[in-house]
Amino acid sequence: MSEILDEPRYVCALGGAQSVQAIYRAVPIFHSGPGCAARVSGSSSGTGYLATNTFPCTNIAETEVIFGGEGKLYDIIENSLKVIDGDLFVVLSGCTTEIVGDDLEQVVGDFKDADKPVISVNTPGFKGTNYEGHEWVVDAIINQYLTRLPKGEKIKGLVNIWGPVPSHDPYWIGDLRELENLIREIGLTPNIIFGEHRGIKNLNKVPLAEFNLLVSPWVGLNNVKLLEEKFGTPYLHYPTLPSGAHETSAFLRSVAQFAKIDLAPIEEIIALHEEEYYYHLERNVSVFFENRTASKMFSTVSTASRALSVAKFLVNDFGLMPNKQYITENVPVEHQDRIAGYFKEFRYGVEAETIFTTDGYNIQEQIEKEYYFGPPLIVGSIFEKKIAKKLNGNFLCVSSPFQQKVVLHSSYVGYHGGLKFLEDLFTGVYQTYN
């Protein structure tokens, strides 16, 4: 079954390379055509210790398609180990080399005695999206690297945090850091492998954690299950990326309960945060509710993770009503019913309908038909800007493709994240009408 896909909001599985890049001093090696590295990274993963233009690549062309590219891959790995000062080398395959049938595992097997670990992961574009690619990369790291580390003692209070997908989600790093702060506040020690100067040091600690914390509706679920299988580490699956007081307080209570921490001091922390949070909401009520152009109903057009986070915040904290929620990252079918269920658990019995679609034309056509009791609020990607403008609605860009503003380390997670979301939302409202 093939059809034309308008405005896709993801890249192919080879985009899992962005997760390798996000591990400091880890080196993705592309066994693919010369354009693939640039295509899957786009502008989202930026520059750094290594970047799109400096990744080793086998530059597959006709010769390798006919005669196989294993010899060339061997040369590239051998030379990468010589010239690139990295800690972990991850070979990723593209569509072409998978169709030709190159055996990555066999070639990588020749480097099992190399000074630095070399692992491989099959990420052909026809097999899935970059969100699945991210999961496969983490799975490969667990299976081929972590399980070969010498066994160590579990560290009390150490928690691995998984969830936001590096680079493709514009707020990934800020969100991860905010989750880290929240976990630290309740007395646990967070461990995240992605982002600045964490790298192999944090990666090596993954098997030693007391438990894994997954903050995402589906991405990463297979990883934490695999970690449980390999290292006996239990996991807490908290599907909603917490934004705003209601969800963040619930998140802190859930984690504390799972970690068997005394709840009394946690309640004190929560009360302090909520006091500050509601102070800001209260003193800006005039901005939020006396603004005639503010919306009453909203739709999100985003990944399951971001859509759920934003929808819970807007309904539970801010009192807007949800219209249809469009989930755009081609969620695997086995997760869809469960995710649709999350959108029926708002406060006051409010429920939202979820549409799983990857097609921009389809989404915009449906949004245009819906009734929003005034100007709609569309929270999505840059693709939704046009339809929001057409309907005289409000618009906030929160997910890829982004190109709307520069995000360095800000986040929509936590108490401060909720306030930041409102700042951005109403800045947009002001700018549209003033």
Strand 325-327, strand 297-302: pairing:
parallel
In 3-state terms, what secondary structure has residue 390?
A: helix
Shortest distance, position 64 Cβ to other proteins, whole Å: 10
Closest to 239 in 3D by CA, of 223, 221, 257, 225: 221
Report the SS3 class of residue 62: helix
Query: Minimum distance from CB of 71 to other proteins (Å)?
Result: 8
For other proteins, the closer of residues 68 and 157 by Cβ is: 68
The smaller minimum CB distance to other proteins, of residues 35 and 319, is found at 35
**Cβ-based neighbours of 54, under 8 Å, separated by 6 or more:** none
Please state the closest distance from residue 102 (CB atom) to other proteins, in A.
12
Size of the site for other proteins (CB under 8 A): 7
The residue among 237, 291, 282, 271 whose CA lies nearest residue 427 is 291
Type of residue at 90: V
Using the minimum distance from each CB to other proteins, give the nearer residue, 96 or 191.
Answer: 96
Distance CA 284, CA 360 (A): 35
Check binding of 126 to other proteins (CB under 8 A). no
- Shortest spacing between CB 311 and other proteins, in angstroms: 47
Side-chain-facing half-sphere of 205: CA atoms under 13 Å: 21
Handedness of CA 167, 172, 173, 176 (dihedral sign): negative
Of 57-65, 179-187, 237-245, 418-426, which part binds other proteins (CB under 8 A)? 57-65
- Closer CB to other proteins, 43 or 106, in the complex: 106
How many angstroms separate the Cα of 265 from the Cα of each of 181, 269, 271, 272?
A: 16, 6, 10, 11
**Within positions 61 to 120, which residues make up the interface with other proteins, using CB under 8 A?**
62-63, 65-68, 100
| Rounded-to-integer distance, Cα 398 and Cα 355, Å | 18
Look up tokens 């890249």; give the residue: 11
Strand partners of residue 158: 189
From 60-68, 178-186, 252-260, 332-340, give the range in contact with other proteins by CB under 8 A.
60-68
Closest approach of other proteins to the CB of residue 249, in Å = 58
Alpha-helical runs (H) found in 62-217: 62-67, 70-83, 95-100, 104-109, 130-144, 172-185, 199-203
Nearest CB to other proteins, comparing residues 65 and 261: 65
* Shorter beta-carbon distance to other proteins: residue 66 or 285: 66
Instruction: Provide, rounded to whole angstroms, the least separation between the CB of residue 94 and other proteins.
Output: 16
Q: CB-wise, 65 or 281, nearer to other proteins?
A: 65
| Minimum distance, C-beta of residue 61 to other proteins, in the bound complex (Å) | 9
Q: Which CB atom, from 62 or from 113, has the smaller least distance to other proteins?
A: 62
Contact set for other proteins, span 296-335 (CB under 8 A): none
Which residues of this protein are in contact with other proteins, per CB under 8 A?
62-63, 65-68, 100
